[in-house]
Amino acid sequence: MPCSKKVILTGATGLIGKELLTPLRHAGFDIYAITIDDNSPYMPGIKWLKGNLFDENFIAQTFTQIKPQYLLNMAWCTTGNYQNSNLNFDFVRAGLTLLKYFAQNGGTRAVFAGTCLEYAFKNTPIKETDKIEPHNIYAFCKNSLRELATAYCKANNISLGYGRIFYVYGRNEHEKRLTASIINALKAGKTVSVNHSQLVKDYMYAKDIAAAFVKLLDSKTEGTVNICTGVPVSLAGYAKTVAHLLGKENLLDLKTLPTDQPAAITGDNSRLVKEVGFTPKYTLKAALKEIINE
């Protein structure tokens, strides 16, 4: 008998994607992960599918062969000047291609990943029903795909969930990302300058984000769900937590320079907690300790 929980996963080697494999397995999914990488990590219960997400023939053949009930689309460009890259438009097309062949082969439940940058910012926690005002091409394309996917899924009897991610940190980050840059500098005994330490964000550990997406995928919750902690943390507080764990508080240079960035960007995660049934497991301190000690 075919497995009723076959899922095709994209973006499985990314900062969040790599954390999806274990919770998907624990939730009973049979995982088929699309990747362009030559060397994919071995893990029982995971089938790596070598191919390009932008190759429609590959996508058509993959869905025809596997006929998954579930689709979890996490793939997107997130390096370099990704926020204003034309590659964002290619990912919109790729997302619709995934849905096309998912629908043609009997798929019933899809979840796509979005970003908090789709929202109009405000100083109080952002709810899913708040105003949409994309801040760059990346956010515009994410939201455009959500709108198109919503219409497509409605027309083709597919249940669609959409998780809007706020601010993420995790294991083995790119060296230029906030967490890795602070940790690496402090470990090397270098001073870390935080220019806008007064800014407040909603940070969520990649492991918790991954677990939240698996819970969303395995639920019947439809529409947008904020993937966030609901806990505001200033950049100063974030840096101090890292420095305290390393015993290097003396190397922090916390500045409050003027900026046109919003003073606070935090999310309301009531829907995630109450409807999806997911509560973040990690505190900021516990997550950063795990990252540092890895």
Mean of pLDDT values over 74-100: 94
Q: Note the pLDDT of residue 1.
A: 39
Residue 81 to residue 76: CA distance in whole angstroms: 13
pLDDT confidence band for 261 (50 / 70 / 90): confident
Mean of pLDDT values over 50-55: 95
Mean of pLDDT values over 80-85: 90
pLDDT confidence band for 294 (50 / 70 / 90): confident
Could you tell me the pTM of the whole model? 0.95
CB neighbour list of residue 167: distance below 8 Å, 6 or more residues apart: 116, 201, 202, 203, 204, 265
Q: Is the pLDDT of residue 79 over 90?
A: no
Q: Note the pLDDT of residue 38.
A: 73
Residue 31 to residue 21: CA distance in whole angstroms: 8
Q: Is the pLDDT of residue 176 over 90?
A: no
The residues facing 163 across adjacent strands are: 113, 225
